Every structure is written in structure tokens, then in C-alpha cells.
Amino acid sequence: MTNLKDRLVERLERKEAVIGIVGLGYVGLPLMLRYSDIGFRVLGIDIDPGKVARLNAGESYIEHIPAERVAVARDAGFEATSDFARIAEVDAVILCVPTPLNKYREPDMSYVINTVEALTPHLREAQVVSLESTTYPGTTEEELLPRIERQGLTVGEHLFLVYSPEREDPGNRDFETRTIPKVVGGHTPACSEVGLALYRPAIDRVVPLSSTRAAEMTKLLENIHRAVNIGLVNEMKVVADRMGIDIFEVVDAAATKPFGFTPYYPGPGLGGHCIPIDPFYLTWKAREYGLHTRFIELSGEINQGMPEYVVGKLMEALNQRGKALKGSRVLVLGIAYKKNVDDMRESPSVHIMERLRERGTDLAYSDPHVPAFPTMREHHFDLESVPLTPASLEEYDAVVLATDHDRFDYAMILAHARLIVDTRGIYRGAAADTVIKA
């Protein structure tokens, strides 16, 4: 059956293969554009009919992806659909679906499993299936492999299975899909060969690994490394604040050391689809082996506690001014999880907003990237972004600077806000008594 592998590799190398991407969000949509740009025909599959309709109309629903790029891809042959039966048309199936946590902070694999269940009846010989969703080591072998082989397809002979974790940094103009190295692990050597052929035309550097499990663990290590170091600097922030030391000054100074130190900066918590979630995938899986991942769980505990720390600093500052938190008018600046994007996933700003709402504040937000609070799985606010003007700022008892977008006029905010709780170090060194570091 090696001719199936060779035939598929040849189709990929000649760009004759049709690429199918399942899940057209912050990962799937840029990947679709990259394959379309280099001459592949791409079929996109998403269960959201609204997204499908907008893409087929040449529109974008992600701020940093221009509609013009979607329209160009559509004119070059890209099509979006919600029909999983069309999986039979493609040569490569790339899965870019969410892997959140449930309310017990355990992996919610329903998106992956439901997607695989929907597509497996339509798989055929000489296809490659690549999972890009971040998950625990063993997922590809334990969840995808048996479901595929249940269809009578032997992985490594008839069909090829790889794991290649997504690496996206929305809003970072220094990197794009093409320039971020891609890790690929196959279930068999033949699978690895096909996986490399799938990604090499689109990605400048493809890094082969020995197995899907090694590739799954690689993605978790990347994100755990970041989560643990952010947890460390968030803890240092609390200690430094109690001692009257500016943690941002300290991190900047430590970063002048040319070796042995990587600067991480504190904030109001962790956000995004990876860092707050992925470490708990390994924590959960490690229990199967009788292991307790103490570093990971401790950093998670610290990072999850930061929104409450910010609210505590706000409460203390209002108290000193003779005001209760309940009934105070509070404006949250920036509700996306990071600067200069519209991505709301796991945003610590939202957790701050929920804690403020629970305590009876008159709550509002301003975010130039999020004009109206979006529909989210777990968080619900019927709010729209408030325009920032000197007059509007003066209406609020306090402003919580949660996400430091470049489009904010920080000098104007400082001049007109009654009280600023700064979680991002924007006003480091400011002498104003209206600024509270948090």
C-alpha cells in the first residue's frame, strides 16, 4: 500500500492536493489563507453557519485578518461549508477545533470527538488527517486512531495520521503562519513523511518528531513554560508591591542581563486560548500515571487569583477615598485578552468584570477592538464599548486598566480619570496620586 503514501506525497508536493480545514477561527482561518496564497485549493468546514456565510461572501470576522484576503482566497477557489460529507473531496484534513476545560478544570474533548465522529464516515484512502488542537499526550492515538480504523482504514497504510500543534500569536506582526516553525509527529514513519509533505509547502521550517505523543507534549511544554513564569512574576508583583517596589522596573533591570534570564511581565491574570487552559491538560493526564504536577497547579492557582487581587486593590483604593465598591461607577479599559486584538478567549478582564458585577458596581467597559460584548460560552454582559473622552472618564469613580491597547490615549486618561488601577505598568513611575499599581 506504499503507493497510496507516495501518491499523496506527490499530490501535496505538486500542490494538486485539496486541503480541508475544519474549524475556521483564529487558527484555521490564517492557515486557510496561507494554503490558498501558495496555490492550493482549500475547503473550509465550520459548524457555525454565520461564519460559513460570511467567508463565502468574502468577509472576515477576525479584526487582524482583512476581508480583502478572504475575498482573494474565495476568488482563487476557497469555499466554506458546514457539510462534513464533503470531507471525501479533500486529500488533507486539518482539525483546528477548540479544546477548553469543563467546570471542574478537566479537558473538554467534546469538540474534538464530535468533529472526528462527524468526519470519519466520509474518510477514504490516500488522505492525511492532522490534529492541531492543543491536548494531552496520547489524544491522537487514543481518540482519533481507533475511530479512524473503525472505518476499515489502516493508519500508516491506507490513511495517514499526524499531530501538529498550532502556534499562533494574534496581533504579533513579527510572526505569521509561514514564519512560525511547525512541529509534526506522525503515528508511523509513513504518517510522518506525509505530514512533512503537507506542511513543508506552507511553512518555512518544519520540525519532525518521533511520535504524535512527543508533539503533543511539546505544545504543552511551550505553554506550561509561559504559564509558570507568568505565575512567578505575578507572585513577585504582589511581594514587590507590599514592599513598595515597582515590579516593572525590576523586570526591566533584570532583562539587561544578557544570559540566563527571560523577561516575563505581570498582569491581571492569564488570557487566550492556550496559556490558562493547556497546562491543566497535562495535570489531568499525569494523574493517570500517579503523578502530581505541583509546579503547574501552583502557577495556575496564582494566575487564577490575579483578577481577585486587582479587585481587592480597587476596593482598597476606593475605601481610602471614602467610597464603597458597591454602587461605584467603574470603567474597565480593554476586555480582549491581549493588546491590539479582538480575541476575548479566557480574558482576565472578563473575570474582573464578573467579580465587580457580583459586588454591585455600576459597570462599563471601553475597548476599541470590541465594540459590543460578544456571545461567549460562559460569560454574559449586555454592554457596548463606551467612547473615551475627558467628559466620559470624569463620570466614573475608577478606571481599571486591564488590557493595554495602543489605541488608548494614556495621557488623556491620566489627566481626566479620578482613579486609575493600573494592571499593566503603563503608568510606571507616574507621580500622580490617582494611579494605583495592581
Q: DSSP H helical segments within 62-150, as ranges? A: 67-75, 110-119, 139, 145-149
CATH number of the domain encompassing residue 30: 3.40.50.720
- Whether 18 is in a domain gets the answer yes
Residues 280 and 204 in one domain: no
Within a domain: 229: no
Residue 53: Cβ within 10 Å count: 12
Pairing of strands 329-333, 362-366: parallel
Lowest mean pLDDT among 95-109, 149-163, 293-307: 95-109
Residues 142 and 270 in one domain: no
**Residue 264 and residue 132: Cα distance in Å, rounded?**
26
Give the domain extent around 127: 2-212
Q: Are residues 208 and 348 in the same domain?
A: no
Grid cell of 192 as nine digits: 510522518
What would the pLDDT profile of 34-93 be if each residue is shown by its tens digit?
999 999 999 999 999 999 999 999 999 999 899 999 999 999 999 999 999 999 999 999
pLDDT of residue 186: 98
pLDDT at 175: 86
Is 226 inside any structural domain? no
Whether residue 150 is found in the same domain as residue 52: yes
pLDDT tens for each residue of 116-156:
999 999 999 999 999 999 999 999 999 999 999 999 999 99
Mean pLDDT, residues 364-392 taken together:
93
| Domain end position, chosen among 167, 187, 212 | 212
pLDDT tens for 194-229 read 999 999 999 999 999 999 999 999 999 999 999 999
Bridge partners (DSSP) listed for residue 160:
128
Residues 52 and 144 in one domain: yes
Q: What angle do CA 392, 398, 402 make, to 5 degrees?
A: 95
Query: Residue 423 contacts by C-beta under 8 Å, 6 or more apart in sequence?
Result: 266, 267, 268, 310, 400, 401, 402, 438
| Mean pLDDT on 364-373 | 97
Q: Hey, what's the torsion of the CAs at 189, 190, 193, 195, to 10 degrees?
A: -100
The predicted-structure confidence for 401-429, as pLDDT tens digits, reads as follows 999 999 999 999 999 999 999 999 999 87
Residue 275 shares a structural domain with residue 366: yes
Same domain for 258 and 208? Answer: no
269 backbone φψ class: left, alpha, beta (φ>0; ψ -120 to 50)? left
- Are both 315 and 430 inside the same structural domain? yes
- Residue 234 covered by a domain: no
Work out the pLDDT band at 274, boundaries 50, 70, 90: confident
Residues serving a catalytic function are 274
Q: What digits encode the pLDDT tens for the residues 16-32?
A: 999 999 999 999 999 99
Average the pLDDT over 343-353 and give the result.
93
Between CA 273 and CA 277 the distance in angstroms is: 7
Verify that 140 and 277 share a domain, yes or no: no
Of the pLDDT bands very low, low, confident and very high (cuts 50, 70, 90), residue 170 is confident
Q: Would you state the pLDDT for residue 1?
A: 44
* pTM attached to this predicted model: 0.91
Domain final residue pick, 192, 212, 232: 212
Distance CA 118, CA 101 (A): 21
Confidence band for 2, pLDDT divided at 50, 70 and 90: low
Contact 144, 118 (CB under 8 A): no
Tell me whether residue 217 is in a domain: no
User: Within a domain: residue 63?
Assistant: yes
Same-domain pairing of 172 and 256: no
Q: How much is the pLDDT for 18?
A: 98
Domain for residue 82, yes or no? yes
Whether residue 227 lies inside any domain: the answer is no
Total domains present in the chain: 2
Q: Which residue has the higher pLDDT, 346 or 164?
A: 164
Residues 297, 348, single domain; the answer is yes
| 3-class SS string, 147-198 | HHHCCCCCECCCEEEEECCCCCCCCCCCCCHHHCCEEEEECCHHHHHHHHHH
State mean pLDDT over 264-277: 85
Residues 166 and 271 in one domain: no
Mean pLDDT of 268-289: 87
Q: What is the mean pLDDT of the chain?
A: 94
Once rounded to an integer, what is the mean pLDDT over residues 357-363?
97
> Beta strands 159-163 and 206-209: pairing type?
unpaired
